[in-house]
Every structure is written in structure tokens, then in C-alpha cells.
């Protein structure tokens, strides 16, 4: 575990943010084979949100608030693992309400 923290305040629903992080980390662990890795990083974004934070299809649709992409002082949380991952179609729907994926189709 590497730690380089600086004091940062996050505004939002702490219960929901905690739930989302727990779910993402739990799924990363669950779908990573034995001997694999799970990496969780949190970094401050001082110059607006990078394009790779938003799925390309959503960026192309024009549905993304451009102000969000330029907002400095955000925090980017990244969870990476050596598991099979999600397909592009699954990535586009992952934040929809009630979405679940069959582990046999990952």
C-alpha cells in the first residue's frame, strides 16, 4: 500500500460514495484470478477532468456537461485489476440504475 495523501475535502453523499467504492473494489477482487492484482488510486485533478474519465461514446453523444470536464479541484478515483474486465457495451451501461452483469459473460 502506497500512501501520499494531502488533505482534501469531497462534497457529496458520503453513504453513496462509500457504497460505490465498496462495490467497485469488491467486484475487482471478486473477478480477479488468484495471483492477480487490484490497484486503487485517488488523485487530485487540478486542471479539469481528463477525457479518459468519461466513456468515449458518452463524450461523442454530447450529453456530458462540458463544465464538468473543465472543473479543477476534482478527485479522480481509479480501480484497476488483472481480471477479464468489461466489454465496451457494459462500460456504457455500468452507471445505469439496477445494472448487473452475469459473471459468465465477462
pLDDT by 10s per residue, the chain, length 106? 566 656 677 777 888 888 988 988 898 898 899 999 999 888 777 665 555 566 666 666 766 666 655 555 677 788 888 888 777 777 777 666 666 666 555 5
81, 33 Cβ separation under 8 angstroms:
no
C-beta neighbour count of 77 within 10 angstroms: 15
Alpha-carbon distance 6 to 42, whole Å? 11
- What are the structural domain ranges in the chain? 14-98
* pTM, 2 dp: 0.56
Amino acid at each position: 500500500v502506497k500512501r501520499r495523501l494531502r488533505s482534501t475535502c469531497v462534497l457529496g453523499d458520503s453513504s453513496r460514495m462509500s457504497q460505490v467504492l465498496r462495490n467497485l473494489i469488491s467486484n475487482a477482487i471478486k473477478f480477479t484470478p488468484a495471483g492477480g492484482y487490484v490497484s486503487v488510486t485517488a488523485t487530485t485533478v487540478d486542471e479539469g477532468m481528463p477525457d479518459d474519465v468519461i466513456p468515449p461514446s458518452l463524450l461523442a453523444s454530447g450529453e456530458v456537461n462540458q463544465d464538468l470536464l473543465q472543473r479543477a479541484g476534482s478527485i479522480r478515483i481509479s480501480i484497476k485489476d488483472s481480471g477479464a474486465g468489461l466489454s465496451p457495451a457494459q462500460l456504457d451501461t455500468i452507471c445505469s440504475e439496477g445494472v448487473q452483469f452475469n459473471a459468465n459473460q465477462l
